[in-house]
Structures are given as C-alpha cells and as structure tokens.
Amino acid sequence: MAYDAVVVGLGGAGSSAAYHLARRRLRVLGLEQFGPGHDRGSSHGRTRITRQAYFEHPHYVPLLLRAYELWQDLQQRTGTELLRICGGLMVGPATGALVSGALRSAREYGLPHELLSAADVRARFPAFRLAEDEQALYEPRAGVLFPEACVRAHQELAVSHGAELRFHTRVLDWHSDGARVWVRTDGGTEEAGSLVLAAGPWMPEVVRCPLELSVERQVVFWFRPRRPEWFTPDRFPVFVWETPEGFFYGIPAVGGRGFKAARHHGGQTVHPDRVPPVRPEEAGWLRAQLRLRLPEADGELEDAATCLYTNTQDEHFVLDRHPEFGNVVICSACSGHGFKFTSVVGEVAADLATEGASRLPVGFLSLRRFQ
C-alpha cells in the first residue's frame, strides 16, 4: 500500500486535513480536480469573516478557540498574514437570532464582548446607521481570514511534511473494505488505509451515504465606498446584519480592495459544474440594504464573483466517520459558515482517520442527528 491516507478535494478543509495527516508522519496523497487556487468551489474570494461569539450555536465555540490557535500557528510557521483582527459587529433586533445567539455564546464561554446601542455604534463606527430598535454585539476578536493564502499555507506545509498533492485529477469512485480503500481517478487507482472526503460542493457525488445536501449559488460584491476612510479595518469591523429581509454581511476594504458585502443565503440551487455568471441586476437587493444601513458604502461596483454554499438540512456541518466504513471520514464543513473552522476541521479529520475519534467536542456534528 503506497499511502496511509487519501484526501479527496484540496480546498479549505481538504488542504488542512492533508497537512494534519502529513504532520503525523502519515504517507498522504491529496487529489484535486482543478489547479491550485481555483475559483470554482467555496474557498476563493479574497476574504472570510471569522468570529467566536457564535450565534449559530455555543457548541461551536471550543472549536473556534482551537481554530484561532491553529491559524496563528500556521501564520507563524509560514510567515504569511492569514488573519487580521479588526473586531466584529453582530447587528439586529435585540431578540433576533443573531444578537441573542451571539450573546448566549459570549456569556457561556466568557468571550470579550460589548452590547452597543444604535447611537454607540454610530459614535464608534461612523459608516453604520442602525435603527433605534436595533442593537449590536461587538466582538473584539472577530476579523478577516485570507482564504487563498490559508489554503496555500496548508498545502505548502503538507508538502513540506512529505504529502503528495496531485492537481487536475478527478476522483471518479471509491470503495472500502473497512481496513483499506481503493480510489479510482481519471489517472488510475490508488490504494490507502483511510480516506478523507472533503469535496465541498461536489460532496453529493462522492459521499455515498444518505446525506441530504443542497448546493446554493451566492454572489459577492466589492464596492468603492463614497467615503473610503470609513471602511478601512482600523475604523470598520466585519459585520453580520439581521434584517426583516434576511441576513447580509460585510468586510472592510483590505489589501487595497473595495468594501465587500453579500447577502447570506437566498441564492438558487445549482450543480457545481454549471454555475451561472453574475448578472448586474443581482446587486439590487444588496444596494437597497446599503442605502438604508450603510449609505456611504453604496458607491461604484468594483467587482463581483460567484461562490457556492453546500447546505445540510439544519445548516450545521457534518464531521464524522462514514456510517458504513470506519476508515472513511466525511468532512463537509460548509453551510456557508465553514471557512473559519477549516484549520481545526483538518485536525479533527486527521483524528478521526487515525484514531477513530477526536478529543475535540464534535459529537454535535455527527451524521447520527439525521437518522
């Protein structure tokens, strides 16, 4: 057997898994259908929000604390900026899912935070216009991750620990006898002790177990704000906003780029091989939000891109062993909020592949909840 582990997909999660497996001195083969740094999956687009006061559920907080440690470690090992802390605002009605959920996580885990009124936010961050009945939870540890650099850092370190990463190689099929796996690609068949499936939006095609996933097209936009000095990371935090029309989020202008914003969800279901390009009128929903809530952001459109969410039914990740084959790990960490976790998801995937369990509390992400 030439390899101890094969990783399918070298995006955010798979690159991290390849690194963590190779670090444990395993012989690792990573397989990726496209080239390095491609923009057809879920891990491109220059920036991602990271935060710890997690409105989605407090169960994520221990994973986030570990994810932050691992990002900082990766940053040190590669000497590359991967994470910029600039603070974050969770904005919405006090009783809404966003502010109350973030507050619950912050209180349960003693995370630094402040509750701000509409006037407090305006005084501190002049770009924001909250309605009088809205509140914000400010989290100083939130910030921006640079996804292309993060993926590259994991890949480079995986290779430096002996992993073989093969690009432009599509996995067509696999089977397992519980102790070994055979992975058929468009270039031949590979044999290994274990398999990590990290295929992102293509997961439905490779997972081979009853897991209901839907792939959702998202469009992100970069604007040139009318007052650019209000949108730099020293004066403008990342934010998520809960409005009666849905959630949207924004990221300060970093690295000379414009202010980035997008609606969270509300996209059409697609097949990842057939994603329609952006149409100019798709900025309409977001522009209406900006005019009302961040009027100085509503400037010239600089750029736009599509990206894919892979959603489970409950919008929580799946991080578990395959129900039929103990040596196959399912690593489907998306539902639109997975990038910040990819550093720790790779570590957990390596735990599951080598020891069958992880010391990190990931039971809430197991497949059993759908049974």
Ligand X SMILES: Cc1cc2nc3c(=O)[nH]c(=O)nc-3n(C[C@H](O)[C@H](O)[C@H](O)COP(=O)(O)OP(=O)(O)OC[C@H]3O[C@@H](n4cnc5c(N)ncnc54)[C@H](O)[C@@H]3O)c2cc1C
Active site members: 44, 47-48, 260, 264, 307, 340
42 binding ligand X? (CB under 6 A): yes
137 binding ligand X? (CB under 6 A): no
41 binding ligand X? (CB under 6 A): yes
Place of tokens 């039971």: 363
Least distance to ligand X from the beta carbon of 117, Å? Answer: 26
Tell which residue, 290, 237, 236, has the closest CA to residue 263.
Answer: 290
Tell which residue, 215, 209, 218, 164, has the closest CA to residue 190.
Answer: 164
Q: In this structure, are residues 252 and 236 in contact, taking their beta carbons and an 8 Å threshold?
A: yes
And the tokens for 197?
């499936």
Site for ligand X in 147-176 (CB under 6 A): 170-171
How distant, in Å, are the alpha carbons of 73, 180, 273 from that of 244?
A: 40, 51, 33
Tell which residue, 291, 234, 235, has the closest CA to residue 261.
Answer: 291
285 binding ligand X? (CB under 6 A): no
Residue 71 or 230 with smaller CB distance to ligand X? 71
46 binding ligand X? (CB under 6 A): no
Interacting span for ligand X (CB under 6 A) from 68-76, 82-90, 276-284, 334-342? 334-342
**For ligand X, which residue of 149, 309, 329, 330 counts as binding (CB under 6 A)?**
309
Secondary structure letter of residue 229 according to DSSP: G
Least distance to ligand X from the beta carbon of 12, Å? Answer: 3
13 binding ligand X? (CB under 6 A): yes
Q: In this structure, are residues 147 and 44 in contact, taking their beta carbons and an 8 Å threshold?
A: yes
- Measured CA to CA, the distance from residue 73 to residue 288 in angstroms comes to 40
**For ligand X, which residue of 43, 52, 135, 312 counts as binding (CB under 6 A)?**
43
Instruction: Tell how far CA 66 is from the center of its chain.
Output: 15
Q: In this structure, are residues 311 and 213 in contact, taking their beta carbons and an 8 Å threshold?
A: yes
Report the largest interatomic distance among the alpha carbons of the chain, rounded to a whole angstrom: 65
Site string for ligand X, 251-270 (x = CB under 6 A): -----------x--------
- Measured CA to CA, the distance from residue 363 to residue 369 in angstroms comes to 9
Tell which residue, 37, 36, 32, 39, has the closest CA to residue 187.
Answer: 32
**For ligand X, which residue of 88, 90, 339, 347 counts as binding (CB under 6 A)?**
339
**How do beta strands 83-85 and 246-251 pair?**
unpaired
Site for ligand X in 15-34 (CB under 6 A): 31-34
**For ligand X, which residue of 4, 6, 7, 9 counts as binding (CB under 6 A)?**
9
200 binding ligand X? (CB under 6 A): yes
Cα-based angle 143, 147, 153 (whole degrees, multiple of 5): 110
329 binding ligand X? (CB under 6 A): no
Least distance to ligand X from the beta carbon of 8, Å? Answer: 5
And the tokens for 182?
């055979």
Least distance to ligand X from the beta carbon of 143, Å? Answer: 11
**For ligand X, which residue of 125, 337, 352, 365 counts as binding (CB under 6 A)?**
337
Q: In this structure, are residues 302 and 224 in contact, taking their beta carbons and an 8 Å threshold?
A: yes
**For ligand X, which residue of 3, 4, 6, 12 counts as binding (CB under 6 A)?**
12
Which residue is at the shortest CB distance from ligand X? 11
Least distance to ligand X from the beta carbon of 313, Å? Answer: 16
**For ligand X, which residue of 157, 338, 349, 351 counts as binding (CB under 6 A)?**
338
Interacting span for ligand X (CB under 6 A) from 10-18, 109-117, 274-282, 352-360? 10-18
Residue 230 or 339 with smaller CB distance to ligand X? 339
**For ligand X, which residue of 336, 350, 354, 362 counts as binding (CB under 6 A)?**
336
And the tokens for 224?
């040139």
Tell which residue, 136, 301, 294, has the closest CA to residue 227.
Answer: 294
Site size toward ligand X (CB under 6 A) is 38
Terminal-to-terminal C-alpha distance of the chain: 34
Kindly list the residues in this chain that would bind ligand X in the complex (CB under 6 A): 8-14, 31-34, 41-43, 45, 48-49, 170-171, 198-202, 206, 218, 220, 262, 307-309, 333-334, 336-340
